[in-house]
Amino acid sequence: MRHLRHVVGAAAVVATASTMLAAPAFATSAAENYAALGDSYASGVGSRDYFEDSGDCLRSPKAYAQLWADSHDVANFNFAACSGAVTDDVNANQLGGLSADTTLVTISIGGNDVGFSSVIQDCLLGTDEKCDSAVSAGEDKARNELPAKLDTTYANIREAAPNAKVVVLGYPRLTELGDCGIPFFSDAKRQRINDGSDVLAGVISERAEAAGFTYADARDAFAGHGVCSGEEWINGPSNPLVESFHPNVDGYAKGYLPVLESITG
| Catalytic machinery residues | 40, 246
* Residue 224: closest CA among 202, 203, 250: 250
- The CATH class of the 32-264 domain is alpha beta
Q: Where are the domains of the chain?
A: 32-264
C-beta separation of 91 from 37 below 8 A: no
Say whether 79 sits in a helix, a strand or coil. Answer: strand
pTM of the prediction? 0.88
Q: How far apart are CA 257 and CA 259, in angstroms?
A: 5
What per-residue confidence (pLDDT) applies to 30?
80
Side-chain-facing half-sphere of 1: CA atoms under 13 Å: 8
What per-residue confidence (pLDDT) applies to 8?
35
Task: Find all residues with CB under 8 Å of 148, minimum gap 6, and list them.
Answer: none
Digit-by-digit pLDDT tens for the chain (265 residues) are 333 333 333 333 333 333 333 334 454 448 999 999 999 999 999 999 999 999 999 999 999 999 999 999 999 999 999 999 999 999 999 999 999 999 999 999 999 999 999 999 999 999 999 999 999 999 999 999 999 999 999 999 999 999 999 999 999 999 999 999 999 999 999 999 999 999 999 999 999 999 999 999 999 999 999 999 999 999 999 999 999 999 999 999 999 999 999 999 9
Q: How far apart are CA 181 and CA 228, in angstroms?
A: 7
